């Protein structure tokens, strides 16, 4: 038999084996199929090409996962990359940072480890960069023959960037305005280097510049210029300004020196690492300090990792949620995310996590913070099924802390500047109100996408919104659009 024949037979066998294994798992027999899958191709070959590909449905950009799994397992990496690029502008970001709900929804998870979809995604795109397949994509002559519009985009996070790339590829003139010194939004100034090295972003930005996107940095629209100036001569405006108004806690001692919002801390660290910066001093330095991070989530975890790398004496992350089970009940929750304790790199690095404690006060030496007072919580399920937290009497704890970082989420986009100038209507949560199909705001010719519209979310959702918003803008300008809706 030829090598190709053997390969195809292997794939078919592996799928058959996968189905048999799934059946045995559903019948509650203990998992006994503990094979090692050393390569991405082996992982791809585990895919069963399910009748209903839950992974695809649970991916916000609807990546065509079973298709690339098959192509990777057959060794056709170029075709796999073409599939991937057709739905996702920045797989090098999602392949590194996406929480991968696709893997939670993988059918194999019912009885075994899911396919390592995110790692395959990253392997495909990194191979494509190495081989030189990723090149600027210029608009076709057919798109250029159609009427071209001018679009200004406020904000250069993943939503603004995805929107810009989609629009420039069908021939529109696109300018991105960014308040910060460099392009990238939270990818550049929020997420630390140890999770996203900035060359990954710069590599993609070079492609976008070559495609014709204009970037203007250090222009805060609404302050340095009036947002309405961007709309002269029928120009369209997309607001993709993110959602970075930090949520605060209101307890005694909150205004003490040494208590900061997490984003201020992470942004300062990212700025200090920029090449060519004259003063490499840190605005907020954890060296030698006891650090308490209040709040879980990506932001809190990034604070823990940063403080450890800065040389903190101790780092404790406090959250009011109860500790999740170490092994979740997959059959009960699948294809949704199973609540269970996720491994955290910072545990091994020396960070400590406390569950079920609430901050009730900050202690001071008269001026600076010196500690955090915690109250133990108990979670009780109510008659209506909801869980409510209540204090456990007498269980208090005092943690020493000379630096406290508040990482309990974000409320909405900044309401001054652009939103005030354009008098944009807000939704009940304080985000910009705009349709989830047409992305139109309450101001004619102004669209909104990303966190500014949906509230603080994920990179993959920002990419999806940027792509869909581009399709809506293109349709508005030309009466129709060849861009995909996702």
The 437-466 site mask, x for binding ligand SF4 (CB under 6 A), equals -----------------------x------
* Partner whose binding site includes residue 44, from ligand FAD, ligand SF4, none (CB under 5 to 8 Å by kind): none
DSSP annotation of 381 reads: E
* Partner whose binding site includes residue 186, from ligand FAD, ligand SF4, none (CB under 5 to 8 Å by kind): ligand FAD
**Closest to ligand SF4 by CB, 88 or 270:** 88
- CB count, 10 Å around CB of 38? 8
Q: How far is Cα 69 from Cα 77, in angstroms, rounded to an integer?
A: 10
**Closest to ligand FAD by CB, 21 or 204:** 204
What dihedral do alpha carbons 389, 395, 398, 404 form, nearest 10°?
Answer: -10
Q: How far is Cα 117 from Cα 241, in angstroms, rounded to an integer?
A: 30
* Partner whose binding site includes residue 302, from ligand SF4, ligand FAD, none (CB under 5 to 8 Å by kind): ligand FAD
Q: Which stretch binds ligand SF4 (CB under 6 A): 93-101, 371-379, 388-396, 472-480?
A: 93-101
Q: How far is Cα 123 from Cα 77, in angstroms, rounded to an integer?
A: 9
Q: Which stretch binds ligand SF4 (CB under 6 A): 39-47, 114-122, 361-369, 404-412?
A: 114-122
Q: Is residue 220 within the footprint of ligand FAD (CB under 6 A)?
A: yes
Complete DSSP assignment for 187-241: HHHTS-TTT--HHHHHHHHHHHHHHT-EEE-S--BTTTB-GGGGGGGG-EEEE--
* Partner whose binding site includes residue 478, from ligand SF4, ligand FAD, none (CB under 5 to 8 Å by kind): none
The 252-291 site mask, x for binding ligand FAD (CB under 6 A), equals -----------x--x-------------------------
Q: Is residue 432 within the footprint of ligand FAD (CB under 6 A)?
A: no
Q: Is residue 63 within the footprint of ligand SF4 (CB under 6 A)?
A: yes
Q: How far is Cα 173 from Cα 151, in angstroms, rounded to an integer?
A: 6
* Partner whose binding site includes residue 299, from ligand FAD, ligand SF4, none (CB under 5 to 8 Å by kind): ligand FAD
> Beta strands of 272-330 (E only): which ranges?
290-294, 314-319
Alpha helices in 27-134 (DSSP H): 40-45, 54-58, 65-73, 77-85, 91-97, 101-104, 117-131
Task: Out of 41, 165, 241, 402, name the contact with ligand FAD by CB under 6 A.
Answer: 241
**Closest to ligand SF4 by CB, 357 or 461:** 461
Q: How many residues bind ligand SF4 (CB under 6 A)?
A: 13
Grouping H, G, I as helix, E, B as strand and the rest as coil, residue 361 is strand
Scored b (16 or more CB within 10 A) or e, 361-378 reads bbbbeeeebbbbbbbebe
Residue 386 to residues 255, 383, 458: CA-CA distances in angstroms?
33, 7, 26
Cβ-contact 238, 348 below 8 angstroms: no
Q: Is residue 59 within the footprint of ligand SF4 (CB under 6 A)?
A: yes
Rounded to whole angstroms, the maximal C-alpha distance in the chain is 82
Q: Is residue 100 within the footprint of ligand FAD (CB under 6 A)?
A: no
| Residues pairing with 215 in the sheet | 176
Q: Is residue 106 within the footprint of ligand SF4 (CB under 6 A)?
A: no
**Closest to ligand FAD by CB, 59 or 370:** 59
Min dist CB 58 to ligand SF4, Å, is: 6
* Partner whose binding site includes residue 117, from ligand SF4, ligand FAD, none (CB under 5 to 8 Å by kind): ligand SF4
Min dist CB 144 to ligand FAD, Å, is: 28
Q: Is residue 458 within the footprint of ligand FAD (CB under 6 A)?
A: yes
**Closest to ligand SF4 by CB, 58 or 261:** 58
Instruction: Determine how β-strand 387-400 pairs with β-strand 369-381.
Output: antiparallel
The 379-418 site mask, x for binding ligand FAD (CB under 6 A), equals --------------------------------------xx
| 455 dihedral zone (left: phi>0; alpha: psi -120 to 50; beta) | left
Positions in the binding site for ligand SF4 (CB under 6 A): 59, 61, 63, 65, 94, 98, 100-102, 117-118, 121, 460
């Amino acid at each position: 038999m030829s090598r190709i024949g053997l390969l195809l037979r292997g794939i078919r066998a592996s799928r058959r084996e996968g189905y048999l294994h799934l059946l045995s798992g559903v019948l509650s027999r203990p998992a006994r199929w503990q094979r090692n899958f050393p390569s991405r191709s082996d992982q791809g070959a585990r895919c069963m090409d399910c009748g209903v590909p839950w992974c695809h449905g649970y991916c916000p950009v609807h990546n065509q996962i079973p298709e690339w799994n098959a192509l990777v397992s057959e060794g056709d990496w170029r075709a796999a990359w073409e599939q991937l690029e057709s739905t996702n502008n920045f797989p090098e970001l999602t392949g590194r940072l996406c929480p991968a709900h696709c893997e939670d929804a993988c059918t194999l998870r019912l009885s075994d480890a899911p396919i390592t979809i995110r790692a395959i995604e990253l392997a495909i795109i990194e191979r494509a960069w190495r081989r030189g397949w990723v090149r600027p994509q210029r608009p076709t002559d057919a798109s250029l023959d159609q009427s071209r519009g001018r679009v200004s985009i406020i904000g250069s996070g993943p939503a603004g960037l995805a929107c810009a790339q989609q629009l420039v590829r069908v021939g529109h003139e696109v300018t991105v305005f960014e308040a910060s010194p460099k392009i990238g939004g939270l990818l550049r100034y929020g997420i630390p280097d140890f999770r996203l090295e900035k060359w990954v972003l710069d590599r993609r930005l070079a492609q976008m510049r070559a495609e014709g996107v204009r970037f203007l940095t250090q222009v805060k629209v609404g302050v340095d210029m009036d947002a309405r100036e961007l709309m002269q001569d029928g120009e369209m405006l997309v607001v993709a300004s993110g959602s970075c108004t930090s949520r605060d806690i209101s307890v005694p001692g909150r205004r003490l020196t040494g208590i900061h919002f997490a984003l201020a801390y992470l942004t300062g660290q990212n700025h200090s690492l920029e090449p060519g910066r004259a003063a490499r001093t840190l605005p907020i330095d954890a060296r030698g300090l006891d650090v308490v991070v209040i709040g879980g989530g990506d932001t809190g975890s990034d604070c823990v990792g940063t403080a450890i790398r800065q040389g903190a004496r101790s780092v404790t992350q406090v959250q009011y949620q109860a500790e999740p089970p170490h092994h979740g009940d997959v059959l009960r929750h699948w294809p949704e995310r199973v609540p269970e304790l996720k491994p955290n790199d910072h545990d091994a690095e020396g960070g400590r996590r406390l569950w079920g404690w609430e901050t009730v006060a900050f202690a001071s030496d008269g001026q600076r913070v010196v500690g955090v007072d915690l109250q133990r919580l108990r979670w009780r399920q109510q008659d209506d099924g909801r869980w409510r937290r209540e204090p456990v009497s007498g269980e208090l704890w005092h943690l020493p802390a000379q630096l406290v970082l508040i990482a309990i989420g974000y409320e909405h986009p900044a309401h001054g500047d652009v939103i005030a100038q354009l008098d944009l209507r807000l939704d009940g949560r304080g985000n910009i109100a705009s349709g989830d199909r047409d992305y139109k705001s309450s101001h004619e010719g102004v669209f909104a996408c990303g966190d500014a519209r949906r509230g603080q979310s994920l990179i993959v959702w920002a990419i999806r919104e940027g792509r869909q918003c581009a399709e809506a803008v293109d349709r508005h300008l030309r009466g129709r659009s060849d861009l995909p809706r996702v």
